[in-house]
Amino acid sequence: MSQGICCCHRPLPTTEQDCSSARREREEAAHLAGLPPVYAVALAKKTARHISIHNLRGRRSCHGYAYSLAGWLLLSRHTVGALENGTLSCNLSSAYQDYFWKGCMPGAEGNLCKVCIGQQEMERGKDSSRCAANHDERYYGNMGALRCLLGDPSGRSFGDVAFLEHHNLLQNIDYLERSGWATGGAPNDLELLCPDGSRAAVADWKTCTLGPVPPNIVVTRPAAAAKVYKFLMKSQEASRSSPFQLFQSQKYGDRDLLFKDSTQHLLPTSHLGYEAILGISFWQLAESIFNCTPVGILDFCKQDPCAYSAPH
């Protein structure tokens, strides 16, 4: 199960931190290190023996969604080389368009939407939403990437490889087989693609992984941090003994509304900075990619909040 992290940052003091503050930061970092790890993995059918992590160029790919950690960011190290050699476009999304033949990466465009199937009209009584970055696309998220690998019930619209997080993987495989979505989709029919080019059993994600997925973080402006922290902690406590459920969106007729429904609880991070929470290696990878990959939300975050005034 994935773990949520409530990260309410406060500006660090300009003077040197005292010993108690430094000790508290080490204790909090150790606390985060004790969380159940989540790994990004690449999954393929056992019968497709010719596929390895080193020959995915030109194949059909399945990704949870655009900008996801497992299916977009960490994947770059093992496919387009995280743009390290400068031979590919600095725009990671464009690099994937050129790297894969076609696929389903909800929220993307072009050939990375051609394998997507949207939502059946008879299920929700509305038009199909192919490649939407939400659950209207049946190939969205970890479960969706797995569906994409196995193919739709008709046996069409499938990928050669799926990139997703490992948590709940065995349960999701079992669910899709029991629900009639796809036959021949038992754990023994699938294998992980390892960074060294070998393969491993589905359960061996600790030794055959694309990298660890850092915990999710809630961020806010420093001026609002105390209020947001207090609200989330109270809401989390209330959801344990009242009809209100902070993490269970099904009660409100949808999925993953505010947090993933698989979230168990939030943890305070107090003085920890981004690098301590995300890890140096992940932080450097993300920084190098987002420095040259256009993302609308990052442009918005860089805007000067003082340039906008609230309506009178």
Q: What is the CATH number of the domain that holds 109?
A: 3.40.190.10
Q: Are 154 and 52 in a shared domain?
A: yes
Tell whether 110 and 253 lie within a shared domain: no
pLDDT in tens, 140-181: 999 999 999 998 877 777 899 999 999 889 989 988 888 888
**Could you tell me if residue 312 is inside a domain?**
no
CB 140 within 8 A of CB 106: yes
Together in a domain, 177 and 254: no
Q: How many domains does one find in the chain?
A: 2
Q: Is residue 311 part of a domain?
A: no
Spatial distance between the Cα atoms of 80 and 96, rounded to a whole number of angstroms: 7
CA distance 250 to 234: 21
Together in a domain, 31 and 43: no
Please tell me whether residues 152 and 197 are part of one structural domain.
Answer: yes
Residue 252 inside a domain? The answer is: yes
Determine, yes or no, domain membership for 309. Answer: no
Q: How confident is the model at residue 302 (pLDDT cuts 50, 70, 90)?
A: low
Strands (DSSP E) found in 142-281 = 161-165, 190-193, 199-200, 211-212, 216-218
- Among candidate residues 212, 232, 263, the one where a domain is terminated: 212
Kindly state whether residues 192 and 223 are assigned to the same domain: no
112 or 258, which is more confident? 112
Residue 138 counted as domain residue:
yes
Query: Residue 295 falls within a domain, yes or no?
Result: no
State which H helix or E strand residue 43 sits in: strand 39-45
Q: What's the DSSP call for residue 160? A: S
Q: Hey, what's the torsion of the CAs at 43, 46, 49, 55, to 10 degrees?
A: -10
Half-sphere exposure of 294 (CA within 13 A, CB side): 3
Mention every residue, 6+ apart, whose C-beta is less than 8 A from residue 41: 70, 163, 164, 165, 166, 169, 192, 193, 205, 208, 209, 210
- Is residue 140 domain-shared with residue 84, that is, in the same domain? yes
Residues 156 and 219 placed together within one structural domain of the fold: no
Of 148, 154, 79, the C-alpha closest to 115 is: 148
Do 97 and 130 belong to one domain?
yes
Asked whether residue 98 falls in the same domain as residue 235, the answer is: no
User: Tens digit of pLDDT for each residue in 14-27?
Assistant: 344 444 544 544 44
d(CA 147, CA 142): 9
Last residue of a domain, one of 158, 182, 212: 212
| Structural domain boundaries enclosing 105 | 39-212
pLDDT band for position 303 (cuts 50, 70, 90): low
Predicted TM-score (pTM) of this structure: 0.78
